[in-house]
């Protein structure tokens, strides 16, 4: 009986251990899943403004994380370039055990003997210190170049942030456009359904032909196709926004409609001047230009001597305590000939600098074109909005007249369908004009180096 009790206890404890292990596994896995999710947890129905979406993207977007890691890389390179200014301290030690072969020694007079084969040990320990004293600025120029490269990387991070912000705006306004388009499509479907009922009613009383009914049915089918496409466009736009924000799974949220927010005024000359003075990508290249200039000076310093100091403390002997001694010294290294390596290094550094300066000129030209294109698109969209607003009113009035004429038997189904199409297109055109304006405004801000 005791044996059975022991078995029961063992089984009971095993089950408890398994349950505990399973609980820990699930518990850790549950929280690890949250730790690994880059997105912020959003409650269903959360309303997000453009600013909210930008904050999420700046926190989660992998492009920004990559640029931040790039800064860490250049910080480590800067630290490495400064290591030459510190003493280089090393220690070494060795132990040897030796034996010598037996040999005979003879001397005049017939006296001779054997040398003993007695082994002996040897201990050596040393500490070395080396310090660069002067190298005509070579190390300073390299360190200065590394610092400027770090500054350049920081500007590149800012540029990456601007690009991500622009992508967020593009995707954000894309979702708003798709949602508004969907409203127009649904309104059009509702109107087409009414047109079909009206055509059927008139056909029943003999006031219209059968072709009016079939035409209304066809128009309704075409409207439903547009609605299906519009729904898919909305899903695609939301997926694009999620991707830009760095979200790895779909979340339910609502966007604040900012398509008709107050529009700012821009002056082309002022915009261009701001772009040349505050564009992060241009600042990054200008910092890199300075960095490469320092590398040219560093390469030229290889023509000149280097002065170093050294010191050592040593312990040596066959038994303890060991004998000790120290030494200090100065050294001068004078380059005489290295197969034209220094000359080629200087030419390479100068060529890299020339290439970069050409890239700076190309970027400035690109900035001018980018600003001009965005400014012209902004002005175009501004005018289109005014025309689109008027077109909406005209299309609405035209549709109302066409309905009245058709109901009175004075108009045709074709006339009514045409009026309905023009009304729908006017609504879509107005939405597109608003979207194009906000997109051009965002592009102009990015061209200026402005994120908000």
* Mean pLDDT of all residues in 203-225: 85
Identify whether the C-beta of residue 223 lies closer than 8 Å to the C-beta of residue 188: yes
Alpha carbons 259 and 326: distance in angstroms, whole number: 79
Q: Stretch 203-224: mean pLDDT, rounded?
A: 85
Q: How deeply is 59 buried, as exposed, middle or buried, from its count of CB atoms within 10 A (0-12, 13-18, 19+)?
A: middle
The pLDDT of residue 42 is 66
Q: With contact defined as beta carbons under 8 Å apart, do 332 and 309 qualify? A: no
Give the model's confidence band at 29: pLDDT under 50 very low, under 70 low, under 90 confident, else very high.
very low
- In this predicted model, which residue has the larger pLDDT, 410 or 373? 373
Number of structural domains the chain divides into? 1
Residue 91 tokens read as 């220690």
How sure is the predictor about 28, in pLDDT bands with cuts at 50, 70 and 90?
very low
Q: Would you place residue 216 in the very low, low, confident or very high pLDDT band (cuts 50, 70, 90)? A: confident
Average pLDDT score over residue span 246-267: 82
Residue 219 lies in a domain: yes
The pLDDT of residue 128 is above 60: yes
Q: In whole angstroms, what is the distance from residue 125 CA to residue 94 CA?
A: 7
Has residue 440 been placed in a domain? Answer: yes
For residue 287, give both structure tokens. Answer: 């910092």
The answer to whether the Cα torsion of 392, 397, 400, 405 is positive or negative is negative
pLDDT at 203 > cutoff 70: yes
Segment 27-40 shows an average pLDDT of 42
Asked whether residue 16 is assigned to any structural domain, the reply reads no
Strands 46-48 and 253-255 turn out to be parallel
Q: Any idea of the CA torsion for 290, 295, 300, 305, to the nearest 10 degrees?
A: 120
Backbone angles phi, psi at 123, to 5 degrees: -120, 135
CA proximity to 433, closest of 388, 403, 399: 388
| Cα 164 to Cα 369: distance, rounded to the nearest angstrom | 21
- Note whether residue 123 is domain-resident: no
- pLDDT, tens digit (0-9, with 9 covering 90-100), for 424-444: 899 999 999 999 999 999 999
The predicted pLDDT at position 8 comes to 45
Average pLDDT estimate for 198-213:
82
**Looking at residue 387, what is its pLDDT?**
95
Whether residue 225 is contained in a domain is answered as yes
Once rounded to an integer, what is the mean pLDDT over residues 282-298? 97
Confidence of residue 66 (pLDDT cuts 50, 70, 90): very high
The confidence score (pLDDT) of residue 404 equals 86
Residue 319 lies inside a defined structural domain of this protein: no
In a domain, 22, yes or no: no
Mean pLDDT value of segment 36-52: 70
What is the domain extent for residue 392? 43-84+136-305+339-448
Query: Chain-wide mean pLDDT for the chain?
Result: 86
Would you say residue 180 has pLDDT above 90?
yes
Q: Which pLDDT score is estimated for 16?
A: 52
CA dihedral (22, 25, 30, 34) in degrees, to 10, reads 180
- Judged on CB neighbours under 10 Å (0-12, 13-18, 19+), 190 is exposed
Rounded average pLDDT over 264-287: 94
Q: What is the mean pLDDT of residues 181-207?
A: 86
- Asked if residue 451 has pLDDT above 80, the reply is no
Query: Quick one: which of 445, 42, 33, 431 has its CA closest to 237?
Result: 431
Q: What is the pLDDT of residue 262?
A: 66
Q: Stretch 131-144: mean pLDDT, rounded?
A: 96
pLDDT at residue 76, rounded to an integer = 97
Backbone phi and psi for residue 185, each to the nearest 5 degrees, phi listed first? -65, -40
Taking the C-alpha atoms of residue 71 and residue 62, their distance in angstroms, rounded to an integer, is 14
- Residue 302 in this model has a pLDDT that exceeds 50: yes
pLDDT in tens, 82-118: 999 999 999 999 999 887 665 555 556 555 555 556 7
Residue 119 lies in a domain: no
Task: Give yes or no for residue 233 having a pLDDT over 60.
Answer: yes
Helix axes 210-244 and 413-448, enclosed angle (nearest 10): 10
Beta strands in 8-73 (DSSP E): 46-48
Task: Look at residue 340 and give its three-state secondary structure.
Answer: coil
CB 417 within 8 A of CB 215: yes
Per-residue confidence (pLDDT) for residue 152, from 0 to 100 = 97
What CATH number is associated with residue 148? 1.20.1600.10
> Does position 130 have pLDDT exceeding 90, yes or no?
yes
Q: What's the pLDDT score for residue 323? A: 92
Work out the pLDDT band at 119, boundaries 50, 70, 90: confident
Distance CA 222, CA 2 (A): 83
pLDDT greater than 70 at residue 32? no
Residues 6+ positions from 97 with CB-CB distance below 8 Å: 119, 120, 121, 122
Question: 38 pLDDT band (50/70/90 cuts)?
Answer: very low
| Rounded (5°) CA angle 389-390-392 | 65
pLDDT digits (tens, 9 = 90+) for 353-396: 999 999 999 999 999 999 999 999 999 999 999 999 999 999 98
- The residue with tokens 């000129």 is 361
Please tell me which residue, 446 or 212, carries the higher pLDDT value. 446
């Amino acid at each position: 009986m005791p044996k059975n009790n022991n078995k029961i206890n063992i089984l009971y404890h095993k089950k408890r251990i398994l349950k505990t292990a399973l609980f820990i596994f699930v518990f850790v896995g549950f929280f690890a899943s949250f730790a690994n999710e880059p997105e912020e947890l959003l409650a269903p129905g959360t309303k997000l403004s453009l600013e909210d979406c930008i904050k999420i993207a700046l926190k989660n977007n992998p492009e920004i994380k990559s640029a931040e890691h790039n800064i860490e890389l250049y910080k480590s390179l800067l630290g490495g370039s400064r290591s030459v200014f510190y003493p280089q301290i090393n220690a070494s030690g060795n132990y040897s055990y030796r034996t010598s072969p037996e040999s005979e020694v003879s001397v005049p007079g017939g006296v001779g003997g054997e040398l003993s084969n007695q082994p002996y040990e040897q201990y050596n320990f040393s500490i070395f210190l080396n310090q660069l004293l002067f190298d005509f600025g070579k190390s300073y120029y390299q360190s200065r170049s590394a610092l400027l490269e770090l500054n350049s990387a920081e500007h590149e991070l800012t540029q990456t942030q601007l690009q991500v912000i622009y992508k967020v705006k593009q995707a954000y306004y894309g979702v708003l456009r798709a949602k508004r388009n969907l409203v127009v499509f649904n309104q059009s479907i509702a109107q087409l359904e009414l047109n079909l009922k009206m055509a059927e009613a008139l056909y029943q009383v003999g006031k219209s032909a059968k072709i009016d009914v079939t035409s209304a049915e066809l128009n309704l089918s075409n409207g439903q196709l547009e609605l299906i496409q519009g729904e898919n466009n909305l899903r695609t736009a939301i997926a694009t926004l999620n991707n830009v924000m760095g979200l790895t799974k779909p979340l339910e949220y609502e966007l604040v409609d900012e398509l008709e927010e107050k529009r700012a005024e821009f002056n082309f000359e002022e915009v261009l001047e701001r772009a040349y003075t505050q564009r992060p990508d241009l600042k990054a290249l200008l910092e890199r230009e300075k960095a490469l200039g320092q590398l040219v000076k560093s390469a030229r310093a290889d023509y000149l001597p280097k002065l170093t100091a050294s010191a050592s403390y040593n312990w040596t002997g066959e038994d303890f305590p060991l004998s000790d001694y120290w030494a200090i010294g100065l050294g001068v290294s004078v380059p005489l000939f290295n197969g034209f390596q220094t000359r080629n290094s200087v030419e390479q550094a100068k060529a890299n600098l020339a290439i970069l300066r050409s890239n700076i000129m190309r970027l400035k030209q690109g900035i001018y074109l980018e600003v001009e294109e965005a400014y012209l698109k902004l002005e175009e969209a501004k005018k289109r909005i005014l025309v689109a607003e008027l077109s909406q009113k005209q299309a609405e009035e035209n549709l109302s007249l066409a309905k009245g004429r058709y109901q009175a038997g004075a108009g045709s189904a074709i006339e009514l369908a045409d009026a309905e199409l023009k009304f729908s297109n006017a609504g879509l055109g107005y939405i597109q004009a608003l979207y194009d304006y906000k997109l051009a405004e965002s592009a102009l801000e990015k061209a200026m180096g402005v994120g908000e």
